[in-house]
Amino acid sequence: MTSPAPAKAHDAHAEHHELGFIRTYVFSTDHKMIGRQFLFMALFMMIIGGSLALMMRWELAWPEGSAGPNPNAGTQLMLKLFGDPASGDLPIPFTKWIPQPYMFDGHMPPEFYNAAFTMHATIMIFFVVMPILVGCFGNFLIPLMIGARDMAFPVLNMLSFWVGAVSGVIMLSSFLVPGGAAAGGWTAYAPLSAVSTYTGVTWGQHLWCISIIVLGISSLMGSINYITTIINMRAPGMTYFRMPLVVWSLFITAILLLLALPVLTAALAMLLLDRMAGTSFFLPAGGGEPLLWQHLFWFFGHPEVYIMILPAMGIGSEILPVFARKPIFGYRAMAFSMIGIAFLGWIVWGHHMFQSGMNPTLGTSFMISTMVIAVPSAIKTFNWLGTLWGGNIHFKVPMMFALGFVAMFVIGGLSGIFMASTPVDIFIHDTYFIVGHIHYVLFGGSIFALFGAIYYWFPKMFGRMTNPFLGHVHFWGTLIGFNGTFFPMHIIGVGGHMRRIYNPMQYEFLHPLQHWNVFMTLSALFLGLSQIRRTVTSARCCRPSTADRTSTARRRSKRTIYRRIASWRAARRPRTEDPRRDG
């Protein structure tokens, strides 16, 4: 605990005493500091992942030379602002400095476009959503909510963060090696990912594999820690069915991580051997099987989806009751539906592979299990509505994000039913419909909940309040920008627009859909601008709060003088108030 206790109390507790800067802020074993470290790492990565997404959106809306002939009003306005009306070219702004193999005259060549969407997905999934939901809030909340002093293995916890950070550095460094970063998609389907000549990427893909293997080690350390802590270190009286739902969700997530990640690690090791040692696990020329990669990847990949949405569900179940001023509706059903998801999550992976050449009979059984796994999510949604019913609802910023989470997650859940149906999936598989679906679940679901959680626990984490007005601006900007960016993806997907193509103008049947691409890009730019507010918040909280400073430093600080004045005033008044609320 780093509470602002008096100096004398510090002497009494050795572990609070004389922890230098390095032990406090860098190699900390305090679960709360590790949680914050995960948060900062992930917010930094989010800027990179988001920038890649904006570049891709720009390229899709205005591929080389297509802006001039496009009569769309938005296009013509952007052309006047950022482009060259004479040539009709609209290059991506602020990218002229990026050298040639990556960018070409302000446009992305297809090689870099492929690397961009691969890295966007990899970064957002492995280095943004997972570190914040599991790394940050798992660390921060579990001990506090179950009444433990810290995690079961504090040093392992520290290692988990630093191994994760090394993995992030490896991943980012892959942009700089010759050939550029991995360009085989975040799903890295073999043989495309298994042979360097197919993508032209050598070390980029090697480093991608190595980075995820290293990250897998970090996640394993974290998940073992969470499971052990939750099983063994609950305070007396904190039975399993009294645990807050967010702890339940993190518990189940940790179990899924523990069981799913080794599968991915093994698959990545095989892929790396195929790439570097000449084996042919996934190469048919040597007797290997390309579909084996897909089975292994999605056997990890589908539980992974729940790893990213379960904590978000837990956070929603935590925030909604607080601001509706009533208990969660159907606590046990909420816990059991998460357990149900955890079991069913293992038998649905084949629904990613209906068109892969997998036996169609197997497709039918995966379709039925996929239909069934939609039920627990439906139960949760109805229970959230039940929580709102009869409440006394306060529309504070965290509540707005939690409500946004429920509303957007419903769309993501319902759109999933389309692709569960095998015949419909024949058409929408590999189109933008899928991209829309995944973003409604991961952005509309996970990231809305994650923003809600940041606003909700921000005062607890950093000892200061956030500005409610700016919070509401951030919420509405995000909600509007998000729907403008991702809802039309369903429309163009049903129009047949394939994913992972960098120039839709190459296909005649996509020309009538191009105005949607322009609209989505403008919305995405608005969405990006709306995030500046969040970036400012995270920059502000980098300054250590008064709660974290040592007593000596605090005595010197100007803030303490204010606090002393406040406490002196408070002492003269009959009613006491928390001076920290003044800031």
Q: How many CB atoms lie within 10 A of CB 562?
A: 14
The minimum distance between CB 499 and other proteins, in angstroms, equals 8
Q: Considering the rule CB under 8 A, would residue 406 count as an interface residue with other proteins?
A: yes
239 binds other proteins (CB under 8 A): no
Burial string for 217-226 (b: 16+ CB within 10 Å, else e) reads bbbbbbbbbb
**What is the CB-side half-sphere exposure of residue 450 using CA atoms within 13 A?**
28
Residue 349 DSSP SS3: helix
> Between residue 413 and residue 442, which ones bind other proteins under the rule CB under 8 A?
414-415, 417-418, 420-424, 426-427, 429-431
Per CB under 8 A, contacts with other proteins among 463-492 are 491
Helix 448-462 and helix 532-540: axis angle, to 10°? 20
**Measured from the CB of residue 354, what is the shortest distance to other proteins in angstroms?**
9
147 vs 200, which CB is nearer to other proteins?
200
Contact 221, 159 (CB under 8 A): yes
- If residue 403 lies in a helix (H) or strand (E), which one and from where to where? helix 397-420
Contact 459, 583 (CB under 8 A): no
Q: Report, in Å, the least distance between residue 79 CB and other proteins.
A: 23
Can you read off the two tokens belonging to residue 478? 């995000």
Q: Specify the residue, 4 or 191, whose C-beta has the smaller distance to other proteins.
A: 191
Q: 498 forms bridges with which residues in the sheet?
A: 431
Q: How far is the CB of 577 from other proteins (least distance, A)?
A: 21
Q: Which is nearer to other proteins, 254 or 272 (CB)?
A: 272
Smallest separation, CB 394 to other proteins (Å): 5
User: How far is residue 419 from each of residues 350, 426, 430, measured CA to CA in Å?
Assistant: 12, 8, 10
Between residues 60 and 527, which has the closer beta carbon with respect to other proteins? 60
Q: How many residues bind other proteins (CB under 8 A)?
A: 89
Among 240, 241, 395, 476, binds other proteins (CB under 8 A): 395
Residues 296-335 that bind other proteins (CB under 8 A): 324-327, 329-333
Residues 104-163 that bind other proteins (CB under 8 A): 109-111, 113-114
- Give 541-555 as a 3 state SS string: CCCCCHHHCCHHHHH
Residue 20 phi/psi, 5-degree rounding, is: -70, 180
Q: Does 508 bind other proteins (CB under 8 A)?
A: yes
- Closest distance of CB 531 from other proteins, Å: 25
User: Is 74 or 496 the residue whose CB approaches other proteins more closely?
Assistant: 496
Cβ 132 to other proteins, closest distance in Å? 25
- 403 interacts with other proteins by CB under 8 A: yes
394 binds other proteins (CB under 8 A): yes
Q: Considering the complex, what minimum distance in angstroms separates the CB of residue 102 from other proteins?
A: 13
Q: What distance, in Å, lies between the first and last C-alpha atoms of the chain? A: 22
- Give, as ranges, the residues between 174 and 213 that touch other proteins (CB under 8 A): 183-185, 189, 191-192, 198-200
Minimum distance from CB of 411 to other proteins (Å)? 7
Does residue 554 interact with other proteins by CB under 8 A?
no
Among 407, 480, 547, 570, binds other proteins (CB under 8 A): 407
CB of 234 to other proteins, least distance (A): 21
Does 579 participate in binding other proteins (rule CB under 8 A)? no
CA 127 to chain centroid? 7
User: Do the beta carbons of residue 436 and residue 487 sit within 8 Å?
Assistant: yes
Give, to the nearest 10 degrees, the angle between helix 448-462 and helix 397-420.
150
Residue list 32-91, contact with other proteins (CB under 8 A)? none
Using the Cα atoms of residue 360, residue 362, residue 364 and residue 366 in order, give the sign of their dihedral.
negative
Q: Which is nearer to other proteins, 98 or 424 (CB)?
A: 424
To other proteins, the closest distance from the beta carbon of 346 in angstroms equals 19
179 neighbors 200 (Cβ within 8 angstroms):
yes
What part of residues 272-301 is at the interface with other proteins (CB under 8 A)? 284-285, 288-291
Q: Which residues 348-387 are close enough to bind other proteins by CB under 8 A?
A: 355-357, 360-361, 363-364, 367-368, 371-372, 374-375, 378-379, 381-383, 385-386
User: Quick one: 580 exposed, middle or buried, by C-beta within 10 A (0-12, 13-18, 19+)?
Assistant: middle
Element (H, E) at 266: helix 245-276
Counting contacts by CB under 8 A, is residue 459 touching other proteins?
no
Rounded to whole angstroms, the Cα distance separating 10 from 3 reads: 10
Smallest distance, other proteins to C-beta of residue 568, A: 33
| Nearer to other proteins among residue 126 and residue 323 (C-beta) | 323
Please, are residues 160 and 225 in contact by the beta-carbon 8 Å criterion? yes
